[in-house]
A and B are shown apart, each in its own frame.
Chain A
């Protein structure tokens, strides 16, 4: 079970074609699908959206690459469409939001566990606790506005608990800048992990910016504004972990490798055979992209692509619950803040961050308003039996372990 990025040649570019019916395939079922399938769809939409974003930025800076960027970018845009259109129309924007946060939590946890560089792993755990809190706030919003239980989307794989409170995640921009890995020293896996999280967080930011104004409730609108601001911080947090001295072609090659790595992981874990076939097809397309960009690197920069993609990938990203790992991180690291690239105790945060936080929190703290006194329980807080009824409404067979007081 390995992925040989340069040896597995994939599908050549001239055979990578789509028609409209393929690009709008039958969607998954919101309630019948396994939550991990939705997680993979959302993540891969993020990877493809990053591919298109990166390609446009590169085209604006490197005129000579514009023709070849345009050809690959068209394919990536169609790949993104095919993947994202797998989501069904009966997902409300808030239900999709819950899915996005499940992606942020579970994928970040999986990468933090596998990350060989201790500094990068610490940064992933830092971001993880913040997205973990976002899920809790959005779940409270869903219960209190729509009367819906977010666990219908999460399917019990991910806890709904407070993390590092969103209201204290707001930091001065300079305290979101991190120390990048060094391109000659970092392992390939570290580079792919960082790139994956940049993509996931960037699409989350863009999604919240698109749907936030669709809500009527004033606190919902503020909550999306607040959490979108944190997602912007997270894009900065993760993108500054990437070595900015990588050449444009090196970055491009890593982008294609990252997509291949993630499609491969999706295919390895997918239980829905129709969706698995899509992941396998997209993997073959991405391997074709890797070949194309590797040739550009060799022809233009006179560099061997094997020095960038220097090892075979042996383990896919795991799609399984990380409940215990996340709770342990929560217990140990929830008190952390940052001072520039260094993680510090919250009482050591720089004055600039404290000032910034006091400004944005001056009037309202929507993330605190929405979840005031709220704890998740099956079916939402209204499902609690009234006093004197005495009947438990946990489903048959569920045993709830009471926390010791």
Chain B
């Protein structure tokens, strides 16, 4: 049961983590200019 709950929680965190990471980085406004494009640092 514990293993199953841990799995579910891990899966949930795994699915939302990239989103949180994405949003938090964008709110800090790290930017770069590449080939004339004004991009976020995380754009690749």
A binds B: no
Question: B residues within 8 Å of A by Cβ?
Answer: none
